[in-house]
Structure 1
Amino acid sequence: MNKTLPKGWVTSKLKHLGQYLNGRAFKPTEWKPEGIPIVRIQNLNNLNAPFNYTDETYEEKYSIENGDLLMAWSASLGVYFWERGYAWLNQHIFKVLYNEKIVTKRFLYYCLLVSIDDFYGKTHGTGMVHITKPIFENHEVSLPPLPEQERIVAKLDKLFAQHEKIKAALNRIPQLLKTFRQQVLTQAVTGKLTAQWREGKDLEKWKTPTLKDVCFNFKYGSSSKSEEVGKVAVLRMGNLQNGRLDLSDLKYSNSKAEIEKYTLLPGDVLFNRTNSPELVGKTSIYKGEIPAIYAGYLIKIENNKSVLNSDYLNFYMNTHRVKVWCNEVKTDGVSQSNINAQKLAGLEIPLPPLEEQQEIVRRVESLFAKADAIEARYLTLKAKIDSLPQSILHKAFKGELVPQLPTDGDAKDLLAEIMALKKISKGGSKTDELPNEIKIKS
């Protein structure tokens, strides 16, 4: 933490700003299908997460109401205002009771929010990390006078509201790009994309063969177990993403026989034959990015390149039309769906002359390149927007967000309250409870 404080500010440990009451350790045997909700961490960071309920009555210190300040101190650390009605608080979450003589509730909220990164640096555990209460309570924050706290909060509230609007606008971009790409593919395989290009040309009419009419073979991939390191990559269902190969997570093969049998060539199209119902049918094209073979859950489509362009085939296989077909013909299992090679071979494909296929591919790639450029700018901007709250908070806690006023007074007056707390606690009060002399609010 920055030890150079603005004029009139002081440093305080969190334990002197409030009281932090841990939730109750509810047992699964206490859960009921209805009653009062039990708030767990997932109910804080995911508004769609289902509640557990109870119809029992417990100590009031475990209850929460609208407006209560909560701090999740285990697994996913976070700070929240509760606004979903009366409920019981589960363990691993603090209900924060603040000392109104020293700090406002919303300023304490921002104190905790700006400290999240520091808390993660002090966590314990490997699976479900957590921050211990002594470490949490002894964490130091910067504290301005109360009038300045209120101005900082007002400014932060305004900036964070603007930030949420920007995020909401940005969050629409991925879906807009997805819709745009799908519209391009639809126009590509219905002839609309090249309608003007066709004018005045003496071309053959579009045909509608099945894949078996324009492909040589539909081959299943290797069923051998892949390895962490090796000579040749084994492409699996997870490597097929949005018509392209994602090479960020690879397994390998060292088997000479497997490599010879399943080696991919540039232009080979891979079809994901088995997956969850919404993902079966994913298709991507291999363009020789790295030496590779393919796994058994994939089918390699060996198309006749003299009549069917590989890129055109790949684009068609990623249209909404084919997704609908996959949903209609798939065989559903317990947790996965399947489309075998025989069904795949029977898929009809709108087929223009090869010259027009090539023009379609050129136009689709050009439009997709523009979409990719927009997406790259979006990701860059999103990274900046996502980091903005912490930047704003750090600026606020350096005293740089709002001007200081002579009428603010000095936070040393707050320090006197804090020192009184220390003196009283040394007189016998428990470290996790504030003395009765200090007024606490929830």
Structure 2
Amino acid sequence: MIANWTTAPIAKLTEKVGSGATPRGGEAAYTLSGTPLIRSMNVVFFGFKRDGLAFIDDYQASALDGATVRANDILLNITGASIGRVTLAPHDMDGARVNQHVCIIRPNTCIDSRYFRAYLSSPALQSKIWADNTGTTRQALTKQQILAFEVPIPPLAEQRRIADKLDTMLARIAAMNCRLARVGPLLKRFRQSVLAAATSGKLTERWRTQMNAPSWSITTVDTVAAVGTGSTPLRSNTDFFAAIGVPWITSAATGQSLVTTATENVTDLAIAVHRLKRYPVGTLLVAMYGEGKTRGQVSELGIEATINQACAAIVVDESRMLRSFVKLALRANYLQMRDLAEGGNQPNLNLSKIKAFPLPAPSMDEQAEIVRRVEFLFTYVDRLEARLQAAQSATERLTPSLLAKAFRGELVPQDPTDESSNELLRRQAAAAPETAKRGKKVTA
């Protein structure tokens, strides 16, 4: 144990530990204003999320008086996927209530609330929260479990020095994360700009003049490629799908630029019965169905495969147009492709729309130059994205590392003149009966 440090269970460090309840009537009882009701979605590490903050009227609030929040109370999520998330109640949440998924932990005078919150956020304590003594994932924390958690207790002055240092360092990490988060969208927009310049002629405008290349024309997909689709074999027939067989690709795979594996395989019998065509390596796939970003996505087969009816297969005649150019032209016009979808709640593309989709038609030499330039620029962006991911991974490790260092006593220097934590706890224990006598009951 570090000099002047000790440990104590949460039961000895708190005035209150308890959660709330769902208001009568559930979400129907929420109002546009009134007393804030803090739910698990509002509790985030080292912050407070105001999106989704609910409100209840005075009648509902009075029924939850026992779950009243004070400023700087510690709020801990005790159920579900967000179990263990912890924060401090902001000053403007003084008087708010919590529901049954959030526990109020009110520190006594032995422990600084910021220090306490930080320890509850640390890898050491989070690992205890997430696993019970059988090693399985914990779904809920009980009050008894919370009260039993042991907390390292430095002298109070050192707790405050640790909390101050963490506030400074974590603010820098947060600022760094914000800056890094802005880079990804910039790189994505750069890719889109490159594709737009490539398919509008701007990327090779000077090259075209220097090489005295012919002007562009417009063609359609079916002029330069054969377009087809596939189908889904009857799943109730166990002879149609097998662990080993011909790869069968669905529209979900179009999220990859190059499809090299399949999650399912079909048999020769399924191919014969459903007249499935085996598409060669290099076939371009366009997702015709799918919600979100799927519809309109473009990928390329890196394996010979069959496909389902949600994909259009484009087999480019490279004597007419380079496959690599067709792929980037389709990717550049992803949004225009999506706009062609028809139908009610779930609009879809169809083969006639794919076949008639317009393509710019530069000379073959210019197509090759465009592809070369795009690949060069995208390779550069790939390197930047790899560096970004490495930086983001490094910053994700900073906070746990910093917290671990803090609670090993390595973040700030110890001061031998600080009152020891044992003396601090003795004073608190002696003061507790006097507090109770004055009618200020301490609960835990």
Q: What TM-score does the superposition give when structure 2 sets the normalisation length?
A: 0.85
Q: Give the C-alpha shift of residue 398 in structure 1.
A: 0.6
The DSSP-based 3-state class of the residue aligned with 2:115 is: helix
Are the counterparts in 2 of residues 99 and 441 from structure 1 also a CA contact under 8 Å? no
Deviation string 1:63-117 (CA, Å, 9 cap, x unpaired) is: 33554320102121200123364533111211111111x1011111112111223
The DSSP-based 3-state class of the residue aligned with 2:210 is: coil
- Map of 1:20 onto structure 2: 17
2:177 aligned with 1:167 = yes
Are the counterparts in 2 of residues 99 and 439 from structure 1 also a CA contact under 8 Å? no
Residues 384/189 of structure 1: CA separation in 2 closer, same or farther (3 Å cut): same
Q: Give the C-alpha shift of residue 154 in structure 1.
A: 0.5
2:106 aligned with 1:97 = yes
Partners of 1:9 and 1:128 lie apart in 2 by 30
Are the counterparts in 2 of residues 232 and 293 from structure 1 also a CA contact under 8 Å? yes
- Map of 1:301 onto structure 2: 314
Matches of residues 166-315 of structure 1 in structure 2 within 5 Å? 166-222=176-232, 224-225=234-235, 229-241=243-255, 243-245=257-259, 250-258=262-270, 261-276=276-291, 278-288=293-303, 291-315=304-328
Q: Give the C-alpha shift of residue 124 in structure 1.
A: 8.8
Q: What is the aligned counterpart of 1:155 among 145, 165, 168?
A: 165
Partners of 2:344 and 2:135 lie apart in 1 by 39
The more displaced of 264-273 and 157-166 is: 264-273
Deviation string 1:368-404 (CA, Å, 9 cap, x unpaired) is: 1111111112112211111211100010001100111
The DSSP-based 3-state class of the residue aligned with 1:338 is: coil
- Map of 1:431 onto structure 2: none
Query: What percentage of residue pairs aligned between the two structures are identical?
Result: 25
Look up the equivalent residue of 2:111 and give its one-letter code.
Answer: V
Are the counterparts in 1 of residues 233 and 270 from structure 2 also a CA contact under 8 Å? no
- Map of 1:393 onto structure 2: 403
Residues 348/41 of structure 1: CA separation in 2 closer, same or farther (3 Å cut): same
Q: Give the C-alpha shift of residue 162 in structure 1.
A: 0.2
The more displaced of 49-58 and 308-317 is: 49-58
Are the counterparts in 2 of residues 69 and 79 from structure 1 also a CA contact under 8 Å? yes
The DSSP-based 3-state class of the residue aligned with 2:227 is: strand
- Map of 1:43 onto structure 2: 42
Look up the equivalent residue of 2:105 and give its one-letter code.
Answer: V
- Map of 2:361 onto structure 1: 351
Look up the equivalent residue of 1:99 and give its one-letter code.
Answer: N
- Map of 2:3 onto structure 1: 7
The DSSP-based 3-state class of the residue aligned with 1:406 is: coil
- Map of 1:80 onto structure 2: 87
Look up the equivalent residue of 1:135 and give its one-letter code.
Answer: Q
CA RMSD of aligned residues (A): 3.1
Deviation string 1:399-423 (CA, Å, 9 cap, x unpaired) is: 10011112212112134257669x9
Deviation string 1:284-319 (CA, Å, 9 cap, x unpaired) is: 12233xx53323211111222211222211111112
Partners of 1:134 and 1:127 lie apart in 2 by 18
Q: What is the aligned counterpart of 2:344 among 333, 341, 364?
A: 333
The DSSP-based 3-state class of the residue aligned with 1:154 is: helix
The DSSP-based 3-state class of the residue aligned with 1:74 is: coil
Where do 5+ consecutive residues of structure 2 fail to align?
none
Q: What TM-score does the superposition give when structure 1 sets the normalisation length?
A: 0.85
Are the counterparts in 1 of residues 37 and 54 from structure 2 also a CA contact under 8 Å? yes
Where do 5+ consecutive residues of structure 1 fail to align?
425-433
- Map of 2:56 onto structure 1: 54
Partners of 2:6 and 2:244 lie apart in 1 by 59
Q: Give the C-alpha shift of residue 41 in structure 1.
A: 1.1
Q: How many residues align?
A: 420
Deviation string 1:144-195 (CA, Å, 9 cap, x unpaired) is: 0000001000000000000000000111121011011111111111122222
Are the counterparts in 2 of residues 223 and 296 from structure 1 also a CA contact under 8 Å? no
The more displaced of 337-346 and 161-170 is: 337-346
Residues 127/302 of structure 1: CA separation in 2 closer, same or farther (3 Å cut): farther
The more displaced of 147-156 and 51-60 is: 51-60
Residues 383/158 of structure 1: CA separation in 2 closer, same or farther (3 Å cut): same
Are the counterparts in 2 of residues 283 and 318 from structure 1 also a CA contact under 8 Å? yes
The DSSP-based 3-state class of the residue aligned with 2:315 is: strand
Are the counterparts in 2 of residues 285 and 311 from structure 1 also a CA contact under 8 Å? no
Look up the equivalent residue of 1:13 and give its one-letter code.
Answer: P
Q: Give the C-alpha shift of residue 278 in structure 1.
A: 4.8
Partners of 1:322 and 1:8 lie apart in 2 by 64
Partners of 1:377 and 1:363 lie apart in 2 by 22
Are the counterparts in 2 of residues 227 and 251 from structure 1 also a CA contact under 8 Å? no
Look up the equivalent residue of 1:82 and give its one-letter code.
Answer: A
Partners of 1:217 and 1:99 lie apart in 2 by 72
Partners of 1:266 and 1:204 lie apart in 2 by 31
The more displaced of 340-349 and 118-127 is: 118-127
Deviation string 1:115-147 (CA, Å, 9 cap, x unpaired) is: 223311238998982233322221112110000
Q: What is the aligned counterpart of 2:336 among 308, 324, 338?
A: 324
Are the counterparts in 2 of residues 307 and 353 from structure 1 also a CA contact under 8 Å? no
Deviation string 1:190-211 (CA, Å, 9 cap, x unpaired) is: 1222223333325333111121
